[in-house]
Amino acid sequence: MNRTGILLVDLQRDFLEETGRLPIGATRAAVILSRSTRLLAAARTGLVDVIFIVSEFSPTDRFANFFRKHSALRGSAGAEIDPRIVADGFPVFSKRTSDAFSNPELLTFLRKKEFARLAIAGVFAEGCVRSTANSAVGHGYEVSVISDAVESDKDWKKRVGLWSMRKNGARIKSCDEFLDEEPNQASEPTAPSGRGSS
């Protein structure tokens, strides 16, 4: 089937709130929130399907957590989806690495729903967004990265991330371009009974 899914990556409190452990900054967060709200509105009209991807890192992974400033630890408040985003009714898959496809249940879900294309938005452009986009290309999906709906804590990191994803085969589009080109062929979003485990 000719369906498009949007993966919204790591829109969590530790990354979007100013008091989070690894914040991207208020201005950048405001942009992400605005674009995400628009994409969710499109999903609710049936234009696209949205899938949330969240990091849930193990508290026992002390070495990696040190570099992540102990952000998005499994079960912590910071790992919750930012409350300014209304995620109710949409599927959510967790991951413990930068690549959303490290959770095998995500690929199973995407194949069951017969998605032909994926779009990626979220944070961090050079990290989890890049890893997920590159993996999606590797799995044979036509991938678009929504350039004004991805962010990082530094502008140069975002530029590097977008360059890397384009080089690997992803298409880089603005939110306007993506929505204008998207045919109205998506179905009602269907959430699985619980989060996929990574």
- Do the Cβ atoms of 33 and 25 come closer than 8 Å? no
> How far is residue 172's CA from residue 189's CA, in Å, rounded to a whole number?
24
Maximum average pLDDT range among 53-57, 105-109, 194-198: 105-109
| Residue 102, domain member (yes or no) | yes
Q: Please give the tally of structural domains in the chain.
A: 1
Q: What is the pLDDT of residues 85-136, one digit of tens each?
A: 999 999 999 999 999 999 999 999 999 999 999 999 999 999 999 999 999 9
Whether residue 194 is contained in a domain is answered as no
In a domain, 187, yes or no: no
Which residues, 6+ apart, have CB-to-CB distance to 168 below 8 Å?
133, 134, 137
Tell me whether residue 198 is in a domain: no
Domain holding 39: CATH number? 3.40.50.850
The amino acid that residue 143 corresponds to is V
Q: Is residue 47 part of a domain?
A: yes
Farthest CA pair distance, the chain: 45
E-strand ranges in 41-111 read 49-55, 92-95
Query: Can you give the pLDDT at residue 173?
Result: 97
Domain that holds residue 87: 3-181
